Amino acid sequence: MFSLSRLLTFAGLAVTLAECAIVPPALQGVPATIDSPPDFNGSTTDTSSIVSTALQVNQKGGATGDAPPDEPASSTTVTAVDGDLVNATVPTVTASRRDVAADAHLSRRNNSNYDLVFWGTGTGPNDRDAAIEGTAYLTYTVVSNATYDIDDCSLSATALKDVVIFVNLYYELWNPLLDFVFSQQSNLKCAAYGDVHNATEKVMLYVNDASERLTRRKRQTLEQSTGWAAKSLVDPPTPPGYELVFGPTDGANNAPGYMGFAFIDQYDVAACAALCDTRGADPVGGACQYFNIWRALVDGVPTTYSCAMYYIVADASTAVNFGQGDLQVTESRGYSRKNVVVDGGFEGYTCGGLDVPLCFTQGYANWQGTSPVGGNFDASIFNYQPYAHTGNSVGLLGSAFGSDQLSGTIAPASPLATVAGQSYTLQFFHSSFYSGAQAEASASMSIIWNGVTIDTIHPGFSQWTGHQYTVTAQGNDLLQFTGGSAPAYVFIDDIALFPM
């Protein structure tokens, strides 16, 4: 490791570089600038847009219409993106809610026991009831008219037993489909939900209309509509490729690195992960690396489920948005993507003291730089904040002392712990503006995966720019970055490899 105080002994190695006297990085030269540096803290959570959209969206559903019992619950649906109302399926490989039962929803129950949430009415011709119309509706089943047993209801929905946390049990009378068409021939409906609802959400009221009864037939009516919530709940499983950062709490993140939000019609952690995976890269911060899922209550009623996405990993310290007005935040959880590259920002290399403003090395525990024969520090790691994309450390390609024009190679010190056959997203940021427009015109860098060059970029004079590639692992993969040729220096930072 070289500190600034020791560098003076190497001053003789420095050369006066092309066009003008360019001070090499090893001697703490000042980079040329073309624009203001990236502002990673300027983009914070747009809470007002999230709240205003939540007050517009309608995600309520129930066991209405002509659908037969025991239909597969549909895939999770996106209902809004960045303030615009939409209707699109989350881009996952799963086909239905039955397929993803173990990975979805607010919570799942441990047994078939339920607690009564509200009791129903409606036991005679002039006393009618209504069914729930609420969020996270899944499907419905029917149980025998001869019993009013909530356990029979739960056992009928075995395909959804791990995600159903609330059921609405009621009689639906004068429905010819239930009476004559569907094979079960039962009027006792059991509507399954992935969220808990209350009696204030009973809105689908049917009445007997005397004139209609005389001219056509009796209208459908509902009786004894009761609500039941599962007694035992557990946290949803963490999606593959992610880690739980915090939660559940009643505060959503208000954090930097915000990329936007989406509403989904279920509390589905796996769906949020899929949205983060497929979110387009931010030009400043790159790929989505963190999401915050939370449940919005409006006037105490479940209304929507928010996925806020970030390119900077947040934590519980910024989960300070508890709601606005009639909207309350509940069930807030944060998840970060796992980076296969260890220490992709080189922050594991430090100078060892605040009194050392700059230091550099050819390698440390996590990264190794190599020079060709005759080269001198053609690949190195610097700890000096003005050179870095984020944090304090950065990788450099090109002779740190400006003593040769050879290209160096920087690579992880150990093979990557990848899974053979798995696809990954490779992300990194690079810059080549240190020496100015003319000297950096020939700057280039090759990205090498298991000995094969997947791309060679020729950025010329360029400030920090993000790149992404899709690679397929063979297990214990080797990643290398080769390039730079003083004074056409190339800096590289924030390297990540995310499983897809």
The model's pTM: 0.82
- How do residues 111-144 score in pLDDT, each as one tens digit? 356 788 998 876 655 567 889 999 999 888 888 8
pLDDT at position 13 is 39
Burial class (CB in 10 A: 0-12, 13-18, 19+), 210: exposed
Q: Mapping DSSP to helix (H, G, I), strand (E, B) and coil, where does residue 434 land? A: coil
For position 139, what pLDDT does the model report? Answer: 87
Residue ranges, the chain, pLDDT below 50: 1-19, 93-111, 157-158, 206-217
Q: Would you state the pLDDT for residue 291?
A: 98
Q: What is the pLDDT of residue 171?
A: 86
pLDDT of the residue at 423: 93
Per-residue pLDDT, 310: 95
What tokens does 234 get? 């557990």
pLDDT at 146: 81
Distances (CA, A) of 315 to 23, 47, 308, 344: 40, 17, 13, 19
Nearest to 312 by CA among 274, 346, 345: 345
Q: What are the structural domains, with CATH classification, of the chain?
A: 2-30+342-499 (2.60.120.260), 40-96+238-338 (no CATH), 105-234 (no CATH)
Within 10 angstroms of residue 125's Cβ, the number of other Cβ atoms is 8
| The amino acid at 355 | D
pLDDT value of residue 354? 67
What 3-state DSSP class applies to 212?
helix
pLDDT at 210: 43
Q: How far apart are CA 90 and CA 271, in angstroms?
A: 6
